[in-house]
Structure 1
Amino acid sequence: MTTTRSTTRINTLNRLDRKTLIILSHPDIERSIANKTIIGHIKKALPESQLEVRHLESLYPDFKIDINAEQAALLNADLIVFQHPLYWYATPAILKKYVDDVMTWGFAYGTGGDKLKGKHFLQSITLGGSRESFTPLGYNRFSIEDILKPMQQSVYHIQMIYNPPLYSYRNAYVPEVLNSMSEVRENAIAHAERLIEKIQDFSKGNKEKVENFIHKWFKHFDVLDENGYFIQYLHQDIEFTFPGYGNMKGHTEFNSWYYSIREKLEAPIKHEVKNLVIEETERNRFDVRFQVHFLAEEKESRKEIDVVETENWELIWDENGDRPIIAKYVVSV
């Protein structure tokens, strides 16, 4: 027997809107082809309620950055995107100054400086050269990933979650010399579509991953897999309750309970998940409620078990490890 999914429609509730903040840096955005096209497409595709774009050169033509305003914008965001062309293998000048001025001690790092911890970061870059130019034998000698390592380390130092950079080639236009205007626009549109997809995927959160995990969990339960599979997804201080066993806590008591189940029941067994509700109560913390139609046979008595159980989980999605952690697990009949 195998785990089956109920035909009941999954009800995923979300009280949280994930906000994306795009820090745009381009010294002459009105004459830009690539970055102006990218930002224009993003603004058309995404609702204003989920997106804020801050063009640094427009906001601060005198380079006097309002630190309080920029820190407030960062605190209000879940995904932070740096959108810019590659200038001298780094960022435009004001974006470097932005990092220096805004990512301060006590805010982004150092004592008490964990305000951006757990937020996602993505660097979105337009490159003028070709793919071949960013190779050991090419004009630029280094890959773009190598060039961006200082930014990557800065993100790690701030304790944000680093996402692989998004970049596209041949975004510079020099008449009769380099690329064509139509080609640059095409490359920019393709870049924008990739960035929009990433933002939309991020906005969905991890509810779909939680759902898939629940069905995977019971698939392993059906074959009474080794307890090591289950332990890796349980908080070290997990609280759990099962009919006939009462309240238990921690890995040791889970192992004792699971050993008794494997001794008692004949594998395989069957779980059918029904009426699944996944509610995100705060970012990456989920209340999960559902029913399970449970079918099994006892080894000694050959007695059939056919019950419908109600399960309530408290689950945390660890984005650094991209994995779920069950903090509380309550089963009732």
Structure 2
Amino acid sequence: MKTVMILAHPNLEGSVANKRISEQLSQKFENLDIRNIFELYPDYKINVAAEQEVLLNADTIIFQYPFYWYNMPAILKLWFDEVFAYNFAYGSEGDKLKGKNFQLSITVGGPNESYTPLGYNHFTIEQFTKPLEQTAYLAQMNFLPPIYEHGMVYIPGVYNSKEIVEQRADKQVQKLTNVLSGLQNVTPEKRIKNFAIEWFQNFDILAEDNYFNKHITSSTKLHFPEGLFIGNEGFSEWYSEIKKTIKPNNEHRIESIHVSENNGHFDVDLAVKLKAETYQNESIQLNVKENWKIEITADDSIKIHEYLVKEV
């Protein structure tokens, strides 16, 4: 599982909590990519293409930042405005982040009791982060419960001690560690089943070729009722005709799925029902059996080497 942390702190070297959380977590997880966006973009000119490419290659995205005026630092708001763009994160073709994990990790200066209906901040952290929860939902991401600790400000001689803030930061690191470890411990069978669900969800909306082609090799054999197609070019050839025939928002329903390991790859047997409508307003209802030969590669991606579809 690939994890990226979008770190937004205007003075990380002067930070106690955010600096410690990012450093400690990077020591625990070698595959954690930390992007300090204040360091990358001191002029606030964000390289949108570069940031989007990082997100495309990630499974889990952590947003690490201090809680500023019940919100986030300005650069992170700008980052969301520009990177979560139309037809990337949302819109008719905006499914590029679908299925990825969205994790907030926030350092909160005020005490716990202040974030209650009777406290001076009146609302909980969860209530203040509702806009980001909706952002994740609109981008079809998996919104994970926010992780945070209170009292995460150190003002020498005035508020807290450095040791106390570091202890609280370590508690937050442990919470993040538990979440990431849980996500990484998903069995290959569960991963493949989740992948199958996502695969057909993308077929339902007739998503762009690049979603499917990143899971297909140049030599993948695709045995469809329309004939045999080979690799990425073969898939795109077949898929372009499908998109000319049926309307988007059709329905693939997985009736059964069985995954078994076989000499370094996985055999996947599925029973699927399809309901669709053609551009001639004709209804299509099909029952098919599908057999996939799948590999989980060294870089933890899923590749289909053979794909067989039979009508029943």
Verify: 1:61 aligned to 2:78, yes or no: no
Residue 278 of structure 1: how far off its partner (Å) = 9.1
Partner of 2:110: 129
In structure 2, what is the equivalent of residue 20 of structure 1?
3
- What is the root-mean-square deviation in Å for CA atoms of aligned residues? 3.0
Structural mapping, 1:126-275, within 5 Å: 126-207=107-188, 236=253, 238=255
Structure 1, unpaired ranges of 5+: 1-17, 211-234, 242-275, 290-312, 315-333
Shift, 1:194, TM fit: 1.4
CA distance in 1, matches of 2:125, 2:155: 22
Task: Name the TM-score, length of structure 2 as normaliser.
Answer: 0.63
CA positional deviation for 1:238: 3.1
Instruction: Write the deviation string for residues 242-290 of structure 1: whole angstroms up to 9, x where unpaired.
Output: xxxxxxxxxxxxxxxxxxxxxxxxxxxxxxxxxx749997xxxx7479x
Instruction: Write the mapping of 1:237-316 to structure 2, written as runs, cut at 5 A.
Output: 238=255, 277=261, 287=267
Does the CA-based 8 Å contact 1:19-1:203 persist in structure 2?
Answer: no
Given that 2:61 and 2:103 are in contact with CA atoms closer than 8 Å, whether structure 1 keeps it comes out as: yes
* Cα shift at 1:204: 2.0
1:111 aligns to what? 92
Structure 2 letter corresponding to 1:75: L
Q: Which amino acid aligns with 2:26?
A: K
CA contact 1:278–1:288 (8 Å) conserved in 2: no
CA–CA separation in structure 1 for the residues paired with 2:158 and 2:17 = 17
Alignment pair present for 1:101 and 2:82: yes
Deviation sequence 1:191-216 (CA, Å, 0-9, x none): 11211221122122244868xxxxxx
| Equivalences, count | 215
Deviations 1:21-80 (A, max 9, x none): 100000000000000000110111111xx2111000000000000000000000000001
Distance 1:279 1:166 in 2: 40
Name the residue aligned to 1:36.
19
Deviations along 1:98-127, one digit per CA (max 9) or x if unpaired, are 000111111111121110011111000010
Rounded to whole Å, the distance in 2 between the matches of 1:193 and 1:287 is 37
The one of the two structures with greater contact order (alpha-carbon pairs below 8 A, sep at least 6) is 1
Greater gyration radius: 1
Within 2, Cα distance between the matches of 1:132 and 1:24?
A: 27
Output aligned runs, 1:69-84, within 5 Å: 69-84=50-65
1:201 match: secondary structure? helix
- CA displacement at 1:239 relative to structure 2: 6.3
4+ residue runs of structure 1 moved beyond 6 angstroms?
278-281
Compared CA separation, residues 26 and 237, structure 1 to 2 (3 A): closer
Say if 1:240 and 1:25 are closer, same or farther in 2 by CA, change over 3 A: closer
- Asked if 2 retains the 8 angstrom alpha-carbon contact of 1:106 and 1:114, the reply is yes
CA distance 1:140–1:122, change in 2 (3 Å) = same
Cα 1:163–1:206 change in 2 (3 A) is farther
Distance 1:288 1:34, change over 3 A: same
Note the alpha carbon deviations across 1:118-166, whole angstroms, 9 max, x for none. 1111000010111111101112110000000011011101111111111
